[in-house]
Chain A
Amino acid sequence: MTGYRGFALRRGGQAVVVVLLAYVFTFWVISVLPGDPVTTTLRNPQNGFTEEEIARIVSYYGLDRPVLVQLLESLGRFLTGDLGVSLRSNRSVADMIGEVLPSTLVLAASSLAIAVVLSFLVAFGVQYLPKPFSTALRSVPSLFLSVPGFLIGLLLIQVFSFGLGLFRAIDTDGPVATFFAALTLGIWVSAQIAEVLIANLDHEAAQDYAGVARSRGLGQVRLLLRHLLKPSALPVVTVLALMIGEVLGGAVITEAVFGRTGIGSLVERSVASQDLPVLQAVVTLAAVVFVVVNLLADLVYPLLDPRVTLQRRPEVGAAA
């Protein structure tokens, strides 16, 4: 099957397979835990489960049945949207995630926006600023890639919260604090994108067509905007899609640094209390997000970039 439709179907099929495999993989990793932390959690008198509740949970999760059966049942539930029940709080995992997800999404989205803006500013600066500045600016992204993200967060808190008092370390879900948290994550993401963008712009500027366009009297600005920008920026879509997982991970870390509530704090609590269903659900959801985002990117990209061909052409020796 050739053509866009065949490509879309193939890619979609791959995506489904990957999601299923991700679920199985997570399940397997968790079930390989030494000891039986589920029972340990349940039987821990501090958690206060009654015998009835324990029996019910055990039968609900099929904990007394073979692993493969557990997996299949669990997968079945997942596909119908039932993410399970928290071992610790007895609440639906879906509800728990739904509570904290918006905060994380806000953080991730705003940091992506900041990242795109910052990286384009840096890339334009490298193209336009006079020599000493642009050379210095070139090494800025790689400098930031050598700094741990959480350190940037600490620095921002130090300067803007403790130093200038722009936001209080306690009230970390307010807009100002959110901005700085997004800035932390955004700086780190923008460093990656800026490197790709600068490299692409350099590459495109060295292409023949750029010289020919300049021979038609185009100045630097028009050359950049009309010719170099589109072919340089389009691959950034792919890069961003691949980075989604790291963005989510980075959001978790940033939340920890800024003390925000979000998926990060949920994960932390669940790790501390070994609340496995929550962990499994979070990881699987993250994988689903990644797969969906990349699927969309792969489907949309050929429509934007005429350089990309989808069909596999036969190996022709004497191609015209």
Chain B
Amino acid sequence: MTLTSLTGPTTATRRRRTWRVPPTVLVSFLVVALVVGWSVAPGVFSTQDPVNGVPADLFAAPSGAHWFGTDHLGRDEFARVVHGTASSVSSALVAVAIGLVVGGLIGLLAGFLGGLVDTVLARFVDVLLAIPSFLLAVVIVSALGFQTINAAIATGVSAVAVFARVLRSEVLKARSAVFVEAALVLGGSRWHVLLRHVLPNASRSVVQLAVLQFGLSILVIAALAFLGYGDPPPASDWGLLISAGREYPLAPWLVWAPALVTIVTVLSVNRISRWLRKTD
């Protein structure tokens, strides 16, 4: 047997894993925490009314009184963004949850059981992959009703395919690992090995993937809301705000405020996801 190149720390360079968090990641965590705060308790962050505006204040540029300015009905844009976070962000969480639970289960079963189960499940996953997520979302939203939560369900259904694929390949990789066979030789039953060795190793990459999908879902749901496949006005989903703001080119802050909030949120989420991948 030829000696394959073996990697690993030598006696001289034994390094304990350091948990130093880079500053950009810290900032990202803060941003995400803030956004979560907005979605959970919007009233704490903005005391102004997102639904009823003061007509006299319409189209005010950003200022001390109105951080993001006001819209065509005199509503405080900041309040609208904050109050829209709940549906923009928590709907993304729902999408990821659906993808993770359903997709993860499918991937695990396909990887563990193999054979016919694997073939059948693989075809279902192929179907979900084949249908563009946007079109699937359009169809589901048309069927279930024009609400953001339905857009989230649709995005989640598409995400099932991604999670299923990744989990399946991770399970297959873990199953063929040397330490899994070693555990069998040590007297482990197949069940013990699957639960205690294969599963923990296969799920290591899931967290990073879930975070990544979270960011993606925010973007997809924003796009759907932009085109009207979400909660109707007076809801203030970020995508809907951008779409509404587009009508008023003289008040560019109506587009840029929700846009920047979206971008910064997704950037932070992606930064966290990349950091998770590096520390794996």
Contact = CB atoms under 8 A, between A and B. Distances in A.
Whether chains A and B associate is: yes
Contact of B223 (A19, A142, A149): A149
A17 interface: yes
A248 interface: yes
Top-9 shortest CB links A-B: A249-B134, A245-B132, A249-B132, A287-B130, A146-B266, A146-B267, A290-B130, A18-B126, A21-B127
21 contacts: A14-B123, A21-B127, A22-B130, A26-B131, A33-B142, A146-B263, A146-B266, A148-B222, A148-B262, A148-B263, A245-B132, A246-B132, A246-B133, A248-B134, A249-B134, A256-B227, A267-B135, A283-B135, A287-B127, A290-B130, A290-B131
Interface in B77-121: none
A236 interface: no
Interface of A: 14, 17-19, 21-22, 25-26, 29-30, 32-34, 142-143, 145-151, 154, 158, 162, 242, 245-246, 248-250, 252-253, 256, 267-268, 271, 274, 279, 282-283, 286-287, 290-291, 318-319
Interface residues of B, number: 37
B36 interface: no
B67 interface: no
Given A32-B143, A33-B143, A256-B227, A25 B270 contact: no
Contacts of B133: 245-246, 249
A162 B246 contact: no
A23 to B, nearest CB: 9
A249 B137 CA distance: 10
Q: Among A18, A146, A246, which residue has the most Cβ atoms of chain B within 10 A? A: A146
A252 B132 CA distance: 11
Nearest to B266: A146
B267 A25 contact: no
B32 to A, nearest CB: 13
A148 B223 contact: yes
A22 B132 CA distance: 11
Given A149-B223, A246-B132, A287-B130, A154 B246 contact: yes
B136 interface: yes
Nearest to A317: B1
